[in-house]
Amino acid sequence: MSFLTKLKQTKYRIIASLVLVLLVGWIGFYIFLPAINLRSVKFWVYLTFIMLAAILPWFNESLIKKVPVYRSGGKKSRTRYNTETNFTKRNLFLLGFVEVPLAVILIGSIFSSPFFFARQYASVIDVENGVFEEEMPEATEITNIALMDTESAAILGNRTLGALSDVVSQYNVSGYYTQINYNNSPKKVANLEYENFFKWIVNRDSGIPGMVMVDPVRSNAEYIKFSEPMKYATSGFFGDDLMRKLRFSYPTKIFHSVTFEVDENLNPCYTVSCGKPKVGLFGAFDIDEVIIFYPTDGSSEIYKVEEAPSWIDIVFDGDLACEKYNWKGIYSGGYFNSIIGNVGCKKTTDDFGYIVLGDDVWYFTGVTSVTADESNIGFILSNARTGEYRFYDVIGAEEHSAMGAAEGEVQEKGYKASFPSLVNISGQPTYIMVLKDAAGLVKLYALVNVENYSIVATGSTQAEAMSEYKKLLKQNNVDIGTEENTTEITVENVRLVNMSEQTIVYITATDGNVYKGYLESDESLILIRVGDKLRLSYAPGEHESIFIILSWEKAQPAEGS
């Protein structure tokens, strides 16, 4: 009995269906890793292929039949045939099983949309109103802002790895750098990955040995070797693949993002955010749990978001944080208002930056009206670990306008600005960003006043940019408060040092303190002599006992001058 003949018999069709279902189900699950969860669209797509495999043996054996075409005179043509579909009612009935999960996806998506549930989308988050001057700490030295973007971090990271001959030949640095708070300062971290399948085969027993940590404030990077190597990674294959390990451990969880981090002892881990739709079957997906997965041994722990340990930094990613605020900003007045009237509708700008406040990483982005012009009506901070939101009513230039203003200051150099973050300088909301050359290297720092983006200061260090910015605020009669550090000193020594294509004037006082200024910003510094008595306005610098000169004047001329 031939195979096709056997397939005509019911018992063999049942066997064939079961074999195909098991084969397609297992291979599909192993490769595509869908969540076995009715509220996941990916699950219903997966189910569609399983249903197709199940009904395939039950189709009529001939779906297409050839029909002879008769010539005039009633003679059969020996050369030409037409084809017509022989779709029986049974075949159409069988296809109905495949159409069921597709219908669930279509109908579920429609009845989970903002068209029906606009106000439910808007109520997913609560937003507190904050007072900028009170809640944003005033910056004297900028140490809590991740000014470097991923592109620049990758350049530094690759250079660091390139110096390690025993590592660079077998691994490369992950293209995704995670912004974390480590020891109360911002860092960007990326683990090593296997370069390809063959490098995985060679090195899988020894695992992934380390990571690159980049300091985005001071623009340096270092390679850190793990105390134990990583067994699981996104570049692993088969059982060593990170996502496969996670899916087999948590088959019903809907994963949103998987983020590499380190704990307080620099041990590697991944934070895996899990969630579910809040509206209808598929709408308004939000995070409610987080898995901490340790890739060294494959162990893991799962927490509710509100119970997650404080040392982890990223549970909500920046894109989701912006999307959820947009639901509230756009749909609070109902769906039709979001389309026609736009009364009170607002949204975030198209990117975000990072700020470290306390022990947490926060996303920063501006808020503009949906009929967007080149100004913001405020900005939000969103906590990357807890999902908390704060809105600050600060009207001014939107981020891209500020970036253009900073680039315009050095247009002859052709530098490009990174997406800015926000700082409080003397009570003034201020954008801060870096300017990069064509190779992606950080060349300058820039500060732009939010309310008046014609006030732009640049410098090759953060301190220089800060000093220049405060001078510009004074020149533009901007009230920067009354508190100011002032002192009178006697000059013991004056030195001019060329660093990073700029000249820094170091003034040592008789009390041992050192004050520095930038000749490019204040050419009159060249007039200071040993023995001069100076009256200085200054700000703290990056090092203890070295201060930044904001302004100066001679209190008394030097003896014999």
Give DSSP secondary structure letters for 159-206: HHHHT-HHHHTTEEE-S-PEEEEETTEEEEEEEEEESSHHHHHHHTTT
CA 285/CA 109 separation, integer angstroms: 12
Round to the nearest angstrom and report the end-to-end CA distance of the chain: 118
pLDDT at 502: 65
Same domain as 160, residue 241: yes
Domain final residue pick, 293, 315, 337: 315
pLDDT given for residue 363 in this prediction: 92
Regarding whether 43 and 80 lie in a shared domain, the answer is yes
d(CA 272, CA 289): 8
Instruction: Encode pLDDT of 157-183 as tens digits.
Output: 888 888 787 788 889 999 889 988 888
**Residue type at position 283:** G
Percentage of residues of the chain with pLDDT beyond 90: 48
Per-residue pLDDT reduced to its tens digit, 307-349: 999 999 999 999 999 999 999 999 999 999 999 888 889 999 9
Asked if 296 contacts 276 with a C-beta cutoff of 8 angstroms, the reply is: no
Looking at residue 63, what is its pLDDT? Answer: 45
Q: Which of 268, 295, 315 is the last residue before a domain boundary?
A: 315
Report the C-alpha gap between 135 and 297 in whole angstroms.
Answer: 42
* d(C-alpha 327, C-alpha 119), whole Å: 9
Q: Are residues 408 and 390 in the same domain?
A: no
CA–CA separation, 179 vs 146, rounded Å?
Answer: 8
Within-domain flag for 175: yes
d(CA 249, CA 298): 9
How confident is residue 81, by pLDDT bands cut at 50, 70 and 90?
very low
Per DSSP, the three-state class of 399 is helix
- For tokens 């297409």, the residue is 64
Query: Nearest Cα to 417, choosing from 397, 398, 437?
Result: 437
DSSP label at residue 306? G
The angle, 0 to 180 degrees and rounded to 10, between the axes of the packed helices 114-122 and 318-331 is 110
Helix axes 41-55, 10-32, angle to 10 degrees: 150
The yes-or-no verdict on residue 294 having pLDDT over 70 is yes
Query: What value does the mean pLDDT of the chain take?
Result: 85
Residue 142 placed within a domain: no
288 and 166: one domain? yes
Contacts of 311 (CB under 8 A, 6+ apart): 263, 264, 359
Let me know: does 282 contact 66? Beta carbons within 8 Å: no
At residue 363's C-alpha, the angle toward residues 357 and 368, to 5°, is 125
* DSSP 8-state secondary structure symbol assigned to residue 266: -
Question: Who wins on pLDDT, 272 or 525?
Answer: 272
pLDDT > 90? residue 15: no
pLDDT band at 472 (very low <50, low <70, confident <90, very high): confident
Model's pTM, two decimal places? 0.80
Helix (H, G, I), strand (E, B) or coil at 17: helix
- Cα→Cα distances 297→226, 238, 245, 289, Å: 13, 16, 11, 22
As a whole number of angstroms, the distance between CA 190 and CA 488 comes to 48
The answer to whether residue 7 scores a pLDDT higher than 80 is no
Q: Among 26-30, 349-353, 423-427, 476-480, which is the least confidently predicted range?
A: 476-480
Tell whether 311 and 324 lie within a shared domain. Answer: no
Q: In terms of Cα–Cα distance, which of 455, 430, 460 is closest to 445? A: 460
Number of domains forming the structure of the chain: 5
* Domain's final residue, options 315, 334, 362: 315
Q: Are residues 95 and 133 in the same domain?
A: no
* Residues 209 and 88 placed together within one structural domain of the fold: no
Average pLDDT over residues 117-128: 94
Phi, psi values for residue 121, rounded to 5°: -60, -45
Q: Higher confidence at residue 146 or residue 128?
A: 128
Cβ neighbours of 113 (radius 10 Å): 17
Q: Which residues pair with 127 in a beta bridge?
A: 389
Same domain, 345 and 236: no
Radius of gyration of the chain from Cα atoms? 32
DSSP SS3 for 535? strand
What percent of the chain is modeled with pLDDT above 70?
88
Q: What span, in angstroms and rounded, lies between the C-alpha atoms of 192 and 174?
A: 6
In a domain, 155, yes or no: yes
In this structure, the answer to whether residues 103 and 229 fall within a common structural domain is no
Average pLDDT for 426-448: 87
Confidence of residue 76 (pLDDT cuts 50, 70, 90): low
460 and 501, same domain (yes or no)? no
Domain assignment present for residue 268? The answer is: yes
Q: Cα(380)–Cα(368) distance, rounded to whole angstroms? A: 11
Q: Report the alpha-carbon angle 190-361-321, nearest 5.
A: 95
The pLDDT of 377-383, averaged and rounded, is: 93
Whether residues 177 and 305 share a domain: the answer is yes
> Is 146 in contact with 186 (CB distance < 8 Å)?
yes
User: By residue range, what is the domain housing residue 525?
Assistant: 485-556
pLDDT tens, position by position, 19-39: 999 999 999 999 999 999 999
Is 58 contained in some domain? yes
Q: Domain for residue 213, yes or no?
A: yes
